Structure 1
Amino acid sequence: MVKYCMLLAVTITLASCSDTTTEMIPIENPEIGFTIPANFPEPNNAVYNNMPTQYGVELGKQLFFDTRLSTDNSIACASCHIPSNAFADHNAQGIGVEGRVGLRNVPAIQNLAFMNFYNWDGSRLQLENQPLVPIITHEEMDSSILEVISKIDGDDTYTELFRNAFGDDEITPERIYQSIAQYEYTLVSANSTYDAVMRNEGASFTESEANGYATFQQKCASCHSSELFTDQSFRNVGFPINPSVDEAGRARVTGDMNEYMSFRVPSLRNVAYTAPYGSFGQFETLMEVLDYFDTGVIAADNLDPILKNNNNRIALTTQEKEDLLAFMHTLSDESFVTE
């Protein structure tokens, strides 16, 4: 990866009795080394147009944890995307200002640089286009980008951060979105027990974990594929349906009813930290998810063919379920949730 430094100019005015002298002092804002973990796909093309930099990431993190992004200064991005929960939370559906309940479960934020779609329905193709969504959504922050700018304009910390990140202290919507995305691009998780085993770093699976991995490859990996543990497709897997009239899954974006109640396949990395599960938290535990697949899902014309061709179920024995749970816990990256 080519590394480069952005040279930013800070103007310092030196006053004397007779004249004023202006000196330009360059500030380095180097790219943060972007290491692609072994066997990961190439990053989303948008990443290369907004590579994380030292001060861009610092600014994005400051914004991510700032409650002033919400209308009543009570909710930050990090209020729902909690680091110790793999940047998800433990509510069935997101909870915003004044306790308002959102439409969907809060998705984990990890390895976003390698994703081609964002949100459950894939409504955003670039991460830089996503931060505005929670800011303006009534059930989330219920604010506006102009309101956010008015709150942080003149804040000395932000003045310095914007200057260091972009060369001057002008606060614009685009700079806010870019810096938040830069911070989120750095949230890479690839240091689990599973990764250590795959990299031959001296770790090994227990018998149950190994059996679970074999079952996973046979019965789960068609959808939860690659080192991201998602093929990034949209599928109707026959889960209980959200009763909200506002929900239609992927069809809400495309208008194509063949994609009704289809959702982006979630990554299973750090899945042990992100209960409850499903697009609106239908299942409290992973075992409930496995039991549901085993006993049979809701039939639908657009039910995923993998299920439709197998009597609307994924048959699992009790032992296979226990082993699958053991394997999925090997996807937990403790270093990621404790940073």
Structure 2
Amino acid sequence: MKNLIRSLILFALFSACSSEDTVLVSYENPELELNVPFGFPDFNNSVYTNKPTKYGVALGEKLFHDTKLSTDNSISCASCHIQENAFADHNAKGIGIEGRIGLRNTPPVQNMAFMKVFNWDGNIRVLENQPLVPIITHFEMDSSILEVMGKLEEDPEYIELFNKAFNGEGITADGIYKSIAQFEYTLISANSKYDQVIREAGGTFTETEALGYQVFQDKCISCHSSELFTDQSFRNIGFPLNPDHEEAGRARVTGLAEDFMRFRVPSLRNIAHTAPYGSFGQFETLRAVLDYFDNGVLDVENLDPILKENNNRIPLSEAEKDQLIAFMQTLSDSEFIGK
């Protein structure tokens, strides 16, 4: 009888401990502190609803560099978004699996935490909705989220990391999207020579750079405003037209004729490392872009008013072009691009 009672007591204690262990299982996953750099706007709302965490960012970075996201395991996000190019590449148009050529130039991935919209045409308003696009697009990874999840579920390291990042939820599509966005929120570029000068942190412009900064304020800042060096608006600036019949610029999103060939104003940060330039890489160099503006852009009905008011051009002397390029080179953040 005593043995039976002892057994019952031990069973009860074991059951209680097992139940308690199950209930108390949790994962310590501290939030990472992101700071708004000097002069920058506040973070977009998604940063606050999907706050970067230790394991969320680690998972997102791992996924960002993993070729398992493509159907034939040949390319990753990092194949096109290369750090030394400010997470862009040097191709006129993005290149996906099997050498498939996309519609547009690969945009850099920097300061996403401050952007209101994403992509050339602003078709993505929440960064967490972006990762699925390259995964399923024929000209990029040509996979599916279910296929990707199936691959990840075969990897114990991923299972552990997803559990740590999302408190034991396991591998989910939502976890993929959120973690990649968290990683991209940490890609903040704000320590260029320009920033050091503006913050009075020891840097000084050369005479040519200072003159270029003045030219920039006179002739460029209307569109490339704020410390992001973009006002995030959509404009038709009369660049050569993409011959691909699929292209319509912002009109692909809105369906409005007035948005035909309007594109989001790109940031100029790290611009010296993101050639070629334009929505489909129309220009190989910054000098070619400035020459085009100086010589006169396409005369189109919805041309941006700033250009219309100046006879479809931004007049620049050869000296001003040299000065502008010198200034734009001060926007390179060697720490960010890993050089």
Shorter-chain TM-score: what band?
Answer: over 0.9
Give the match for residue 8 of structure 2.
none
Aligned to 2:121: 121
TM-score, structure 1 as length reference: 0.93
Residue pair 1:271, 1:332 contacting (<8 A) in 2 also:
yes
Q: How big is each residue's C-alpha offset from its partner over 1:20-69, in whole Å with a ceiling of 9 and x where there is no partner?
A: 75434543211100100011011111111001000000010111000010
Please give the secondary structure, in 2, of the residue aligned with 1:322.
helix
Aligned to 1:28: 28
**Separation (CA, whole Å) in 1 of partners of 2:173 and 2:164:** 17
Partner residue in 1 for 2:96? 96
- Give the alignment of 1:127-206 within 5 angstroms: 127-206=127-206
Matches within 5 A, 1:1-339: 22=18, 23=21, 24=24, 26-338=26-338
Identity, % of aligned positions: 65
Distance 1:42 1:35 in 2: 10
Q: Distance in 2 between matches of 1:180 and 1:157?
A: 17
Equivalents in 2 of 1:301, 1:70: separation in Å? 41
Give the conservation status (yes or no) of the 8 Å contact 1:159–1:169.
no
CA distance in 2, matches of 1:136, 1:257: 28
Deviations 1:80-135 (A, max 9, x none): 00011100000000000000000000000000010000010000100001111100
Rounded to whole Å, the distance in 1 between the matches of 2:44 and 2:257 is 28
The answer on whether the counterparts of 1:160 and 1:169 sit within 8 Å (CA) in structure 2 is no
Structure 2 counterpart of 1:27, which letter?
Y
8 A Cα contact 2:105 2:278, kept in partner = yes
For structure 2, the residue ranges without an aligned partner over 5 or more in a row are 1-10
Alpha-carbon distance in 2 for matches of 1:293, 1:64: 36
Distance 1:221 1:47, change over 3 A: same
Three-state SS of the structure 1 residue aligned to 2:28 is: strand
The separation in 1 between residues aligned to 2:27 and 2:128, in whole angstroms, is: 25
**5+ residue gaps, structure 1:** 1-15
CA distance in 1 between counterparts of 2:192 and 2:228 reads 12
The AA in structure 1 aligned to 2:265 is: V
The Cα RMSD (Å) is 1.4
Name the one with the larger helix percent: 2
State how far apart, in whole Å, the 2-side matches of 1:104 and 1:140 are. 11
Letter in 1 for 2:198: M
Name the SS for the 1:59 alignment partner.
helix
Question: What secondary structure, in the 3-state scheme, does the structure 1 residue paired with 2:223 have?
Answer: coil
Task: Give the superposition deviation at 1:154.
Answer: 3.0
Which residue identity lines up with residue 228 of structure 1 in the other structure?
A: L
1:4 match: none
Deviation at 1:289, TM superposition (A): 0.2
1:270 and 1:332 in contact (8 A); partners too: yes
Q: Spell out, residue by residue over 1:140-170, the C-alpha distance to the aligned partner (whole angstroms, 9 max, x if none).
A: 0000101100111131111110110111152
Aligned-partner Cα distance in 2 for 1:249–1:157: 41
Name the SS of the counterpart of 2:91 in structure 1.
Answer: coil
**C-alpha distance in 1 between matches for 2:163 and 2:51:** 17
Q: How many residues align?
A: 323
How many Å separate the matches in 2 of 1:198 and 1:19? 65
Deviation at 1:19, TM superposition (A): 5.7
In structure 1, distance between residues paired with 2:217 and 2:326: 14
Measure, in 2, the Cα distance between the counterparts of 1:171 and 1:28: 18
